[in-house]
Chain A
Amino acid sequence: MPRLYKPSSLQECLAALASDGDAAPLAGATWIMRASSRGEQARRTYVAVNGLKELTSVQVRDKSVSIGAAVTHEQLAAVLTDLPELQVLAQAAAHSANPAVRAVATIGGNLCAHSFHAADLVPALLSLDAEVVVARQTGTDQLSLGRFLQIRANLEPGTIVTNVIVPRRMALSAHARLPLRAAGDYPVAIISVCMSTDIGGVVTQARVAIGSVEQVARRWSELECVLVGCRLNPNMFARYADELRDSLNGRDGTEAPGWYRVKVVPTLVRRAIGQACKTVAT
Chain B
Amino acid sequence: MSISLIVNGDQRMAHVGPMTSLAQVLREDFHLTGTKLVCGEGFCGSCMVLVNGKLTASCLLPVGAVQDCTVQTIESIAPNNEALAPIQQAMLDVDAVQCGMCFPGIVMALTALFERQMNVSEKDIRTALVGNICRCTGYDRIVQGALLANERRHNKGA
Contacts and interface: CB of A to CB of B under 8 A. Distances in A.
Interface of A: 1-4, 26, 28-30, 33-34, 37, 42, 46, 48, 50, 97-101, 103-104, 181-185
Nearest to A31: B60
Interface residues of B, number: 26
A4 B63 CA distance: 10
A1 B65 contact: no
B69 interface: no
B111 interface: no
B60 A2 contact: no
A99 B18 contact: no
Contact of B55 (A26, A50, A100): A100
A184 B17 contact: no
Contacts of A101: 42, 57, 60, 131
Contacts of A37: 40-41
B42 A30 contact: yes
Contacts of A3: 18
Contact of B60 (A30, A48, A185): A30
B56 A104 contact: yes
Interface string B53-87: 01111011110110000000000000000000000
B64 A100 contact: no
A104 B61 contact: yes
Contacts of B41: 34, 37
Contact of B43 (A33, A98, A104, A182): A98
Interface centre among A2, A33, A50, A103 (most CB of B within 10 A): A33
B130 A99 contact: yes
Contact of B65 (A2, A42, A48, A99): A48
B88 interface: no
Interface of B: 17-19, 21, 40-43, 45, 48, 54-57, 59-62, 64-65, 109, 127-128, 130-131, 133
A97 B127 CA distance: 12
A236 B42 CA distance: 39
A29 B61 CA distance: 7
Contacts of B21: 33
5 contacts: A33-B62, A37-B41, A98-B43, A99-B130, A104-B56
A245 B100 CA distance: 45
Question: 4 nearest interchain CB pairs?
Answer: A98-B131, A4-B18, A184-B130, A4-B64
Contact of B17 (A2, A50, A99): A2
A99 B111 CA distance: 13
A183 to B, nearest CB: 4
Contacts of B130: 98-99, 181-184
Contacts of B56: 100, 103-104
Given A1-B17, A2-B17, A34-B41, A100 B131 contact: yes
A28 B43 CA distance: 15
A29 B40 contact: no
A1 B20 CA distance: 10
Given A4-B64, A99-B130, 14 more contacts: A1-B19, A2-B18, A3-B18, A26-B62, A26-B65, A29-B61, A29-B62, A29-B65, A33-B19, A46-B19, A46-B62, A97-B43, A97-B131, A100-B45
A4 B18 CA distance: 6
Nearest to B40: A37
Contacts of B54: 103
A189 B19 CA distance: 32
A33 B17 contact: no
A33 B128 contact: no
A42 B19 CA distance: 10
Contacts of A29: 60-62, 65
